[in-house]
Structure 1
């Protein structure tokens, strides 16, 4: 997809409703929360919150933990200065129950968390929607959690329920701070000194980690390039996953959507010829657009377009 089309989609995405910024609350100002704990404490607390929602569910699902290594860099970092804080994020798919029960499981997770006094972040839930989502947080330790219904078969009303818990950003003990970085799966990306190209490659790497599927060898027309469109210049990085089954595609895109929403992107879906909707996300502050589009070959094609940021003109 060319840059003109990408920017057109960006304008549409910008008008979508605001999303829940899980785990980032309290980091938008100049004063950071200086939470100190070790990784295992953060994981144990996140696991406890997951089980608070799932243990009383009926029908009883199987908890299937997915996702990259749970401890990674703090997503609230501004990316321009050193930040040793890390963050725990756990994803659990609720398997072993009919897809028609996904909505019921999400509602049960909400009720269980509310009963324990956790606070809702969702002011506009539409429980008539066959695929609802719930956003909540704990007090005073500020863990953020979601119960999410991913669409498996819209016509049949079948979904896949997922629970996600994100810890606050925290500073590990000194002895472990150097070993608490993310454990990224290698995406073969080129090296560059250009800031916009580095930004595009960084977003691609995070998307790759969220998808949790292997990338395919670089195809003709894919890779990193600079695109000029009228007065705008952007860095554009494209790549593809290996072919996936329909179920694998749905689950991978659901994980990517969870990452985008947790990192504060605006997200929408676009219908494709492959049947499964594409995920289009906008990073409002940067103007970066990410597109994850299933193809008829089974591969998910990823495109990240980020504008070259120039100093504001004095005439503006």
Structure 2
């Protein structure tokens, strides 16, 4: 199957939302070189805060939209940690599509969300003006001081009529669930080694191999916390593969990430760059055919960090 094939705009918007949330927190915060924060939080507090941020954007909107939930179980795992340590942290993601209003109001709703968040004192998470003429104009922002990341996205459905769809997404910082060390079956996330000859593991490894070829840099020995793992949570089961390159000078890291970005774009992945506080480059790419997410980020350790996450039940090969 050709990865460049067209997919419906609504489906692609969903891919953008997933990639945005994962990139903003898991890459921009974790593998882009920032020191992970020790957040005193639990799942319910994170969900409540995310919902509050959503309603801060929506409650004053005109026309008033209806919130249609776009994600299932809100708890997800954190991956691609920059310091290679085993990572039991999770994060919460809440995303809604704004419905019940004319499609011509989609972009206006995103602008209203931006203005409402600015009035709350929240900050832009990327510099420069939004390209409102593009297919998916997106506003990236974050809260202070609790560091939730959010975005407002509009996707064009009918360019001739100027109609589209809009969505809002909020992702919490990573946090360790209370009682993680002793949590058993009630734990929202569990890790285990993939089964032998697991199709999802083969798919993740195949994507990693192609990213390796695109980077053109040798891989480093496997560090603690890296390698293959199967993760089961409220959303289902996925396979993660994380690895690092050999240490590189900063200019070579920048060029390597740029080569990975060119590879993703050439293969039809939905790609976006992720702003990081350290100014190091990072990209997050979503595979539209199988819902795999790949992250490539220059690390302050001198390496380029790679993480591939692919769900079970997808195609049996990365050659789709």
TM-score higher than 0.5: yes
TM-superposed CA distance for 1:158, in Å, is 1.8
1:12-34 C-alpha deviation (Å, 9 max, x unpaired): xxxxxx97831234323484322
**3-state SS of the aligned residue for 2:161?**
coil
TM-score, normalised to structure 1's length?
0.56
Of the candidates 22, 26, 29, which is equivalent to residue 26 of structure 1?
29
- Change in Cα spacing, 1:92 to 1:258, as seen in structure 2 (3 Å) is farther
Give the root-mean-square deviation of aligned CA atoms.
4.7
Q: Which residue of 2 aligns with 1:102?
A: 106
Q: What TM-score results when the alignment is normalised by the length of structure 2?
A: 0.55
Q: Is residue 48 of structure 2 the alignment partner of residue 35 of structure 1?
A: no
* 1:154–1:177 CA distance, 2 compared to 1 (3 A): farther
Could you tell me how far apart the structure 1 residues matched to 2:67 and 2:107 are? 16
Q: Of 131, 145, 153, which residue of structure 2 is paired with 1:148? A: 153
For the Cα contact (< 8 Å) 1:103–1:130, is it kept in 2? no
Q: Distance in 1 between matches of 2:198 and 2:294?
A: 24
TM-superposed deviation, 1:68: 2.1
Does the CA-based 8 Å contact 1:64-1:94 persist in structure 2?
yes
Partner Cα separation in structure 1 for residue 137 and residue 79 of structure 2: 25
Deviation of 1:120 after TM superposition, in Å, equals 0.5
Pair 201,69 (structure 1): closer, same or farther in 2 beyond 3 Å: farther
Alpha-carbon spacing, 1:153–1:303, altered in 2? closer, same or farther (3 Å): farther
Partner residue, 2:52: 48
After superposition, give the CA deviation of every residue in 1:136-183 in whole Å (9 maximum; x if it has no partner): 000111000000112333343221110000000001211685434359
Q: Secondary structure at the match of 1:136?
A: strand
Does the alignment pair 1:305 with 2:318?
yes
Report the counterpart of residue 88 of structure 2 in structure 1.
Answer: 84
Residue 137 of structure 1 corresponds to: 142
Structure 2 stretches lacking a partner, 5+ long? 5-18, 209-229, 237-268, 276-281, 297-304
C-alpha distance in 2 between matches for 1:154 and 1:268: 24
CA contact (8 A) 1:87 1:166 kept: yes
Q: Is the CA contact 2:270–2:287 (under 8 Å) kept in the aligned structure 1?
A: no
Instruction: Quote the Cα distance in structure 2 between the aligned partners of 1:27 and 1:194.
Output: 28
SS of alignment partner, residue 29 of structure 2: coil
Aligned-partner Cα distance in 2 for 1:304–1:152: 31
Matched position secondary structure for 1:51:
helix
Q: Structure 1: which 5+ runs fail to align?
A: 7-17, 184-188, 213-255, 270-276, 291-300, 307-316
Matches within 5 A, 1:157-306: 157-174=162-179, 177-178=183-184, 179-182=186-189, 191-192=196-197, 197=202, 199-200=204-205, 264-266=283-285, 283-284=295-296, 286=306, 305=318
Relative to 1, partners in 2 of residues 1:304 and 1:32: Cα closer, same or farther, differing over 3 Å?
A: farther
Distance 2:291 2:41 in 1: 35
CA separation of 1:194 and 1:65: change in aligned 2, threshold 3 A: closer
CA contact 1:62–1:96 (8 Å) conserved in 2: yes
The number of residues matched between the two structures is 224
Quote how far apart the aligned CAs of 1:289 are.
11
| 2: CA distance, partners of 1:181 / 1:72 | 9
The SS at the match of 1:23 is helix
- For 1:196 and 1:181, the matched residues in 2 are separated by 22
User: CA shift at 1:66, angstroms?
Assistant: 1.9
Alpha-carbon distance between aligned partners in 2 of 1:73 and 1:36, rounded to the nearest angstrom: 17
Match of 1:123 in 2: 127
Q: How far 1:287 sits from its partner (Å)?
A: 9.3
SS of residue paired to 2:157: strand
